A and B are shown apart, each in its own frame.
Chain A
């Protein structure tokens, strides 16, 4: 199982690199423009963290610490908290929808955010639901990301823009989309 999890995080890191410019473009529209660079830097350390041996819980924990230390913006503590929650949950169950639920809960707690605030949570929550009823597909992930476009930002720098945040994809939702594409691609969505 741990191989699939490593593959998942490897593919995620590769996507973050490939989409670095696009993520920063999204963030320039409604944030401070650093999401692509921040996540790409985090991706380098995420990859390095995978060299350490350990079970699934350890892999998630090492990845969390890498992102926490190296991603300077809000996405560091948010992704870090989510991965720490996954690490804990993976020690209790193999049920992937429970893992993602724990991750989403950690993000909500850390960011004091809820559904509809135009954050990464607006991808994590519907992904969790689809996963629970066995209907998660790549197309759905793209749709969840795209749906953040119509939302008005209530958290972070984007919230200062008010109505002007409408019409833009949330960068954290987009990078979370990459996370879940990688999840399916690696076959990490089942034990």
Chain B
């Protein structure tokens, strides 16, 4: 039996469809990992919303959340949420699609955290 990973994945994008699309891609390789998207503004315009990200973060049952984002202002909102939430939110500064994909696939395979981080390292963007 598969052990449920204790880390969930949050995808933050400026465009709702990008968030949904990446989520769909990740689900292909990580059916048992909780993956949520907080993408677009509340009226589904282009941008990110503090409220939307905060709600998504709060809704995770996992004790830890790895957040992946597409652009700098998404990171600003994520930083704000991480400063105000009680949840353990870890912002991953890696390429959005590939970084999230690698993490999801490896979480699904119950890979060790160290090995996931070493795979993510070359994908770091800053």
Contacts and interface: CB of A to CB of B under 8 A. Distances in A.
Interface string B46-79: 1111110000000000000000000011001101
Interface stretch (A17-25, A72-80, A91-99, A120-128): A72-80
A87 interface: no
A69 B38 CA distance: 13
B17 interface: no
Contact of B80 (A71, A77, A156): A77
A72 B80 contact: no
A71 B73 CA distance: 11
Contact of A110 (B14, B46, B49, B80): B80
Interface residues of A, number: 17
A78 B50 CA distance: 12
B41 interface: yes
Contact of B77 (A38, A70, A77): A77
A1 to B, nearest CB: 27
A79 B73 CA distance: 12
B45 interface: yes
Contacts of B46: 34, 72
B4 to A, nearest CB: 32
Interface residues of B, number: 17
A111 interface: yes
Contacts of A68: 50-51, 77, 80
A150 B1 CA distance: 63
Interface in B71-125: 72-73, 76-77, 79-80
Contacts of A76: 47-50, 73, 77
A119 interface: no
A38 B50 CA distance: 14
B41 A72 contact: yes
B42 interface: yes
A148 interface: no
A62 B49 CA distance: 16
A156 B73 CA distance: 8
Given A69-B42, A77-B73, A156-B72, A110 B79 contact: yes
Pairs A-B, 3 closest by C-beta atoms: A72-B47, A74-B73, A77-B76
Interface of A: 34, 38, 68-74, 76-78, 80-81, 110-111, 156
Interface of B: 14, 40-42, 45-51, 72-73, 76-77, 79-80
17 contacts: A68-B50, A68-B51, A68-B77, A68-B80, A69-B50, A70-B42, A72-B45, A72-B46, A73-B73, A76-B77, A77-B76, A77-B77, A77-B80, A78-B76, A81-B76, A110-B80, A111-B76
